[in-house]
Amino acid sequence: MMQLSDGSSRIYGEAAFEILAKAQELEKQGEKILHFEIGEPDMDTPANIVKAGIKAIKEKKTHYAPSIGIVELRNAVQNEVEKTRGYRPDLEQIVITPGLKPGIFFSMLSILNPGDEVIYQDPSYPTYGSVTAYLGAKGVLIPLLEENDFRINPDDIKKKISNKTKLIVINSPQNPTGSVITKNEISEIAEIAEKFNIFIISDEIYSKMTYGTTHYTPTLRDEAKERTVLLDGFSKYYAMTGWRLGYMITPVKMAMRLQNFLVSAISCTASFTQWAGIEALIGDQAFIKKMMNRFIMKRDRIVKGLNSISGFSCLSPKGAFYVFPNIKNTKMTSEKCANYLLNKAGVAVLPGTAFGPGGEGYLRFSYANTVENIEEAIERIKKLFE
């Protein structure tokens, strides 16, 4: 019998894609499924960005590019970070990746040894736990409590620090709860990391997707020069999920290691995608405002609707485009309830447990959908629980 590697048996996938496959199976059988499982904006990439991508292809920007990213985009990212985060990283700190996700993967590969402990939020984006497990490191989960609006409590982090703690992963605005960490909390977390000499990876993929609150980064403390890593990307707020484009701001020593990972794994991020990314950063930003105005309206509809269903209660999220309703009063597990909604109401959602054990008793809805579909889903679910 041929043996595959131990690490490959520990890495795991994402429930969103599994539920999507199940939903598509039902659709093939003629069911009308309403999709709330996949985390991507329901708007298309803005025309100016598409045009810049096409222009780049026509200009033959279709060859290999530097592994770390083209200098024109890295310059644009430098200006962007200065404008949005309040510090100007050196060019050597900036690494371009095909989407934010490889940034998580390669930065964790650069930081962790087997046996190291990684602190992250529970529930949280599954990639953090999956890569931790793959590397033989140990995940130390900090529960996000509904009573605290699903925000991580820095005191809880302090309590979990041991001499093996190597990394804290933070994500704000957060997937799956939509919580946004406050300025004080972010500063406290950055201070803790400094005091105990721990790395921070800050996943800021929803940085421009807040409702009436401001996004803060823990990387401001050391300007990503010592221990912090800023990850952001174009997927969500420029509706560019399929283009695959993200960036990292890291300590220079780490950027050099990352470059070797990129050379070995991907060679480079698609050249024309990077040119489209420049237009995204320097072009008209009105799209984001328009999208967020639509999201606010959808958020308010879905929160109101979910709160009107017997057994459901739902907080209003401060960022991203997810709601995380509490379904404990339905007396069902998250898994059972998600299956029930899919099979009986044709509404595809994720069980909270897809994001960690702390998600038990919750569901995640992505409200990147039409208002009509939101209203219809609420009606269908309501009927089931009447």
Ligand X SMILES: Cc1ncc(COP(=O)(O)O)c(C=O)c1O
* CB distance 134 to 147 below 8 Å: no
How far apart (Å, rounded) are the C-alpha atoms in residues 23 and 19?
6
C-alpha triplet 164, 170, 175: angle, nearest 5°: 130
Q: Do 110 and 254 contact (CB within 8 A), yes or no?
A: yes
In 207-241, which positions are buried (b, 16+ CB within 10 angstroms) versus exposed (e)?
A: bbbbbeeebbbbbbbbbbbebbbbbbbbbbbbbbb
How near is the Cβ of 241 to ligand X at its closest, in Å?
5
CB of 111 or CB of 345, closer to ligand X: 111
Across the strands, what pairs with 95? Answer: 248
Sheet holding 322-323, edge to edge: 322-323, 363-366, 350-351
Residue 139 is encoded by which pair of tokens? 């995940």
Cβ of residue 185: shortest distance to ligand X, in angstroms? 18
Dihedral angle over CA of 218, 359, 308, 321, nearest 10? 40
The residue (of 235 and 330) whose beta carbon lies closer to ligand X is: 235
Residue 201 CA to residue 168 CA, distance in Å, equals 6
Calpha distance 78→271 (Å, rounded): 18
Shortest CB 107 distance to ligand X, Å: 12
**Shortest reach from residue 179's CB to ligand X, in Å:** 12
- Shortest distance, position 173 Cβ to ligand X, whole Å: 9
**Residue number with CB closer to ligand X (185 or 203):** 203
Task: Rank residues 39 and 358 by Cβ distance to ligand X and give the closer one.
Answer: 39
The distance of closest approach from Cβ of residue 344 to ligand X in the complex, given in angstroms and rounded to an integer, is 27
In angstroms, how far is CA 81 from the centroid of its own chain? 18
- Between 243 and 346, name the residue whose CB sits nearer to ligand X: 243
Residue 385 DSSP class:
H
Nearer to ligand X, 246 or 317 (CB): 246
Q: Which residue is nearest to ligand X (CB)?
A: 99
| Cβ proximity to ligand X, 107 vs 330, nearer residue | 107
Smallest distance from the beta carbon of 321 to ligand X, in angstroms?
A: 10
Nearer to ligand X, 246 or 346 (CB): 246
Q: Which two tokens stand for residue 29?
A: 């059988």
- Looking only at the bridges linking them, the beta strands covering 322-323 and 246-249 are unpaired
Q: What are the beta bridge partners of residue 198?
A: none
Residue whose CB is less far from ligand X, 97 or 334: 97
CB of 322 to ligand X, least distance (A): 9
The single-letter code of the amino acid at 352 is G
Q: Which is nearer to ligand X, 232 or 346 (CB)?
A: 232
In terms of DSSP H, where are the helices of the chain? 6-10, 15-28, 47-58, 71-85, 101-111, 126-134, 154-160, 183-195, 252-265, 271-282, 286-307, 334-340, 371-385
Q: Which two tokens stand for residue 164?
A: 């093996």
Report residue 171: phi and psi, to 5°.
-140, 115
The residue ranges that bind ligand X (CB under 6 A) are: 39, 99-101, 125, 171, 175, 203, 205, 233, 235, 241, 246
Of 263, 186, 238, residue with least CA distance to 80:
238
Angle at 186 between CA 185 and CA 188, to 5 degrees: 65
